[in-house]
């Protein structure tokens, strides 16, 4: 069965309208990929557009302070991604794009492959959770040209727990058709968690420096360790 052909035909009709698919700028694509890590597409779209309007190039982002970058990231979660993106921009501004993109801070194998594929058109398939799921369920190794289509199929049809097999262009020959799945792992609750305490503290300090004595010291220590805040005498503030 021509899985690739069926998938690409479906994608030509059903592709999501995502703004980063209209550019080949490796920086813009890098920003999108970092923002999309563990964050829903709908939340990312307006933030990606605003980010590129403010910092349209790696040089522009490199000139920003870490504190401004952290403030701009608020609401996207996992704030260390912002610092890594900032550090990557500074490395690019100083040395240019490295031959091996995983040399950039925070860039792993998937993100590097995504930039190579979507920005430079290289014949490499970026394998994220969605792509891996479809490969395992179909038992098929898809061609690099199928990258975006696989991501859309995994995000909208071949879902993690209850896939929508009746809508899938690959269902007729898929050996996993009709199966249901248990979640691989359950996300720990955010409410009342240490993650929430960290996030609350970071939002507070993002507004203005705060007195150390009045703050959650365990959360402060964790944020300092991650480079997200600094101790300035008796105050905690964002890094400058």
pLDDT in tens, 136-164: 999 999 999 999 999 999 999 999 999 99
Question: What pLDDT is stored for residue 186 in this prediction?
Answer: 63
Last residue of a domain, one of 118, 149, 167: 118
- Of 22, 53, 18, 23, nearest in space to 36 by CA: 18
Query: Over 80: is that where the pLDDT of 188 sits?
Result: no
Per the structure, the count of domains in the chain is: 2
Side-chain half-sphere CA neighbours of 213 within 13 A: 2
Full residue range of the structural domain in which residue 202 is found: 194-237
CA distance 45 to 92: 24
Query: Over 80: is that where the pLDDT of 78 sits?
Result: yes
Last residue of a domain, one of 118, 133, 164: 118
Percent of the chain with pLDDT over 70: 98
pTM of the model: 0.91
Last residue of a domain, one of 66, 84, 118: 118
Query: Over 70: is that where the pLDDT of 187 sits?
Result: no
Q: How confident is the model at residue 184 (pLDDT cuts 50, 70, 90)?
A: low
- H helix runs in the chain, sequence order: 3-14, 26-36, 41-54, 58-62, 66-73, 80-95, 109-118, 129-138, 147-156, 194-207, 217-225
Q: How confident is the model at residue 194 (pLDDT cuts 50, 70, 90)?
A: confident
CA distance 208 to 200: 13
Set 14, 17, 33, 53: catalytic member: 33
Active site residue 33: yes
In a domain, 87, yes or no: yes
pLDDT in tens, 157-175: 999 999 999 999 999 999 9
Average pLDDT over residues 65-81: 94
């Amino acid at each position: 069965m021509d899985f690739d052909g069926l998938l690409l035909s479906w994608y030509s009709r059903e592709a999501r309208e995502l703004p980063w698919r209209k550019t080949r700028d490796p920086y813009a694509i890098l920003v999108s990929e970092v923002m999309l890590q563990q964050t829903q597409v709908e939340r990312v779209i307006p933030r990606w557009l605003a980010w590129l309007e403010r910092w349209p190039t790696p040089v522009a982002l490199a000139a920003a302070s870490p504190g401004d970058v952290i403030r701009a990231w608020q609401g996207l979660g996992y704030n260390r991604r912002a610092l890594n993106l900032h550090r990557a921009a500074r490395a690019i501004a100083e040395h240019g794009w490295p031959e091996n993109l995983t040399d950039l801070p925070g860039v792993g194998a998937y993100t590097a492959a995504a930039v190579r594929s979507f920005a430079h058109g290289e014949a490499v398939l970026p394998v994220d959770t969605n792509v891996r799921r479809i490969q395992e369920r179909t038992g098929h190794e898809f061609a690099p040209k199928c990258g975006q289509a696989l991501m859309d199929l995994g995000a909208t049809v071949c879902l993690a727990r209850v896939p929508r097999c009746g809508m899938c262009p690959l269902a007729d020959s898929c050996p996993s058709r009709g199966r249901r799945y248990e979640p691989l792992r359950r996300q720990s609750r955010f409410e009342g968690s240490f993650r929430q305490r960290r996030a609350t503290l970071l939002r507070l300090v993002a507004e203005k420096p705060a007195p150390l004595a009045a703050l959650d010291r365990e959360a402060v220590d964790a944020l300092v360790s991650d480079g997200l805040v600094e101790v300035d005498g008796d105050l905690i503030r964002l890094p400058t």
